[in-house]
Amino acid sequence: MGAALKSPLRQSASEEQALEEFHARGWTDGLPVVIPTPERVERMLLAGGLDADLVLGEVGPSYAAASIEKVAVNAVMAGCLPDYFPVVIAAVRAVCEETFDLGVVQSTTHALAPVIIVNGPARAACGIASGWGALGPGHRANASIGRALRLVMTNIGGAQPGVTDMAVLGQPGKFTCCLGEAEELSPYAPLHVSRGLAAEQSAVTVVGVESPHSVIASPDGDDPEGPERIVRVIAGAIANAGSNSTYGGRGTTLVALNPNHARMVARRYATREALQQRLHELAVTPKSLLAQWAGASGRQVKNPASDEVVHAIAAPEKVVIVVAGGEGIYSAVFNTWGGGQHHVLPATREIALNEFCELPADRQAAKTKG
């Protein structure tokens, strides 16, 4: 095996030595990687079922071509099982959409990272967690798929901290950030359906945002205003003093509702669109208050004494809502940046699950838990 691969083959005396070379060359995220031997890369390629030379897009800020083979190398390094590769392919395609502004997402001083949201049958096929701790450790598919995208962004896109990636602090989501939507527990149509795909299709949606900010809401179930109280708390977490969008939102905010909150909120806001509209209305800051913070944000407020408010969500469609997590009193808000030519528009791409070639017999044995 290996003769068909285009990537240059390097020799090392051992995997340990190879790993040290990978670290020394800046090809890792700082954690150990699986060494991408030709055999491992070819198995990944078989799972994608696409020509190794096919280019998925150009990865900013280097704008180097992301060929299937190069992406497979990074998926191996990230620890992906071959079954996950179609999800990685879709995620790379999504971040390479021109309107996602990946070049500046990767170079800004802000702490942006793509959150990968998976919908449809691919969640079960790959074992992608959507429930308790979906964004935390312990979920192999979530961890390695998000990490594969990060390694693509590092090794193909050329993002290196303090050199080309100028994030002042960065954030843990820049290691990996992937979850499934808890469609079965959601009162809303699946996210990918709201973005134009069919329920039986699988898809990834990428949203370029900050790290999650926990939102506590524990209203009395008998309180008729309970749903509205949850929405108001979420809106308050969006329009806060430290968020870029508070000063005039142009980016897209992500809200992750846990299923319990989602069901309560849906009693008043029965559709995603209704909830998006209400969050747009409520996530506002009076100019009089904004004026107290605005100098620190580098922005000025016109007519600071007026009764006007500034919307942190410029339009209802500028907030993406996903249902995920365990049942509880915490949801999360991922605030946003607002820069970039297209203000980092979310992107949704279908996951082609049926393109794979049959792998050797141990394929099933290697499958992760569901």
Partner 1 sequence: MRDGVFAARKGLPAVAVLTEEFRVQGEFIAKAVGMPGVPRVIIEHPCAGTGSANLERVARELAPRLIAALQEGHS
Count residues binding partner 1 (CB under 8 A): 13
Report, in Å, the least distance between residue 104 CB and partner 1. 7
Q: Is the bond leading into 61 cis (omega within 30 degrees of zero)?
A: yes
In contact, 192 and 205? CB cutoff 8 Å: yes
Structure tokens at 42: 């070819």
Contacts made by residues 39-43, CB under 8 angstroms, sequence distance 24+? 39/1, 39/2, 40/76, 41/5, 41/7, 41/69, 41/72, 41/73, 41/76, 42/1, 42/2, 42/4, 42/5, 43/82, 43/359, 43/360
Report, in Å, the least distance between residue 164 CB and partner 1. 5
Question: Of 64 and 329, which has the nearer Cβ to partner 1?
Answer: 64
Under rule CB under 8 A, residue 270 binds partner 1: no
Report, in Å, the least distance between residue 63 CB and partner 1. 5
Residue 173 phi, psi dihedral angles, 5° rounding: -65, -10
Residue in the structure block whose two tokens are 């170079």: 107
User: What is residue 161's DSSP assignment?
Assistant: B
Position among 127, 158, 190, 249 found at the interface with partner 1 (CB under 8 A):
158
Residue ranges in 2-31 that form contacts with partner 1 under rule CB under 8 A:
none
Question: Of 164 and 368, which has the nearer Cβ to partner 1?
Answer: 164
Contact region for partner 1 (CB under 8 A) — 56-64, 111-119, 138-146, 244-252? 56-64
Position among 166, 289, 329, 359 found at the interface with partner 1 (CB under 8 A):
166
In contact, 144 and 90? CB cutoff 8 Å: no
Question: Of 12 and 300, which has the nearer Cβ to partner 1?
Answer: 300
Residue in the structure block whose two tokens are 């940046």: 337
Question: Of 298 and 360, which has the nearer Cβ to partner 1?
Answer: 298
> Nearest Cα to 103, choosing from 304, 351, 341, 346?
341
In contact, 351 and 274? CB cutoff 8 Å: no
Question: Of 19 and 166, which has the nearer Cβ to partner 1?
Answer: 166
Mask of contacts with partner 1, 68-107, x by CB under 8 A?
Answer: -----------------------------------xx--x
Under rule CB under 8 A, residue 161 binds partner 1: no
Position among 7, 28, 164, 240 found at the interface with partner 1 (CB under 8 A):
164
Under rule CB under 8 A, residue 154 binds partner 1: no
Residue in the structure block whose two tokens are 């190794």: 52
Under rule CB under 8 A, residue 167 binds partner 1: no
In contact, 252 and 280? CB cutoff 8 Å: no
Under rule CB under 8 A, residue 62 binds partner 1: yes
Question: Apex CA 238: angle with CA 236 and CA 241, to 5°?
Answer: 80
Position among 1, 31, 163, 270 found at the interface with partner 1 (CB under 8 A):
163
In contact, 70 and 157? CB cutoff 8 Å: no
Residue in the structure block whose two tokens are 């979420």: 234
Positions touching partner 1 (CB under 8 A) are 60-64, 103-104, 107, 158, 163-164, 166, 298
